[in-house]
């Protein structure tokens, strides 16, 4: 099972979409506080539709608590300045896919954290800043899942 880690997400709709993504793919979703919204936010609930009860969701007080809970062997930090393309990674089901907040992305100290295996990028046209958080997580997770034969999926 893949694990998605959102570091201090700000927009409830993105996290709601990620809740739905986690439920549909069997991934876990981990959120590091502070969150830019309440978990009861109507926009979060609306974006997640009726998948909230089907998703595995964990909220951590800080990144250190997340690391303790996840005990990750491999963490891929998705960032616009990543050295490797997301398609160059051979993903394993226990991998953690780490994403930063919508407005600024991952802070330098998180990108340099010793738990991070590699900084990874999604291709974009030059001069553009970033892709939507939920979309980025979807692209990365589906590539990881595809590489692992869509284990557990109805094909």
d(CA 155, CA 150): 8
pLDDT for position 41: 58
pLDDT for position 82: 95
Tell me the pLDDT of the chain (155 aa) as tens digits: 899 999 999 999 899 999 999 999 999 999 999 999 888 757 666 655 577 778 899 999 999 999 999 999 999 999 999 999 999 999 999 999 999 999 999 999 999 999 999 999 999 999 888 899 999 999 999 999 999 999 999 88
pLDDT for position 51: 76
Ordered by start, the domain boundaries in the chain are 3-147
8 A C-beta contact, residue 37 and residue 18: no
Q: What is the pLDDT of residues 57-66, one digit of tens each?
A: 999 999 999 9
pLDDT for position 95: 98
According to the CATH classification, is domain 3-147 in 3.30.470.20?
A: no
Contacts of 104 (CB under 8 A, 6+ apart): none
DSSP code per residue over the chain: --EEEEES---HHHHHHHHHHHHHHT-EEEEESPPSS-TT-HHHHHHHTT-GGGSEEEEESSHHHHHHHH--S-EEEE-TT-SEEGGG----TT-EEEE--TTT-S-HHHHT-TT--EEEE----TT-----HHHHHHHHHHHHHHHTTTTT---
d(CA 67, CA 89): 21
């Amino acid at each position: 099972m893949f694990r998605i880690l959102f570091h201090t997400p700000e927009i409830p709709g993105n996290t709601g979409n990620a809740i739905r993504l986690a439920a549909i793919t069997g991934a876990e979703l981990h959120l590091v506080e502070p969150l830019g919204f309440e978990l009861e936010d109507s926009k979060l609930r609306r974006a997640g539709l009726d998948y909230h009860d089907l998703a595995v969701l964990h909220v951590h007080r800080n990144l250190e608590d997340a690391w303790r809970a996840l005990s990750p062997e491999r963490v891929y930090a998705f960032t616009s300045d990543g050295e490797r393309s997301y398609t160059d990674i051979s993903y394993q089901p226990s991998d953690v896919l780490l994403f930063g907040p919508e407005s600024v992305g991952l802070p330098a100290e998180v990108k340099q954290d010793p738990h991070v295996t590699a900084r990874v990028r999604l291709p974009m046209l030059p001069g553009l800043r970033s892709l939507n958080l939920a979309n980025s997580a979807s692209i990365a997770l589906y590539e990881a899942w595809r590489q692992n034969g869509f284990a557990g999926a109805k094909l």
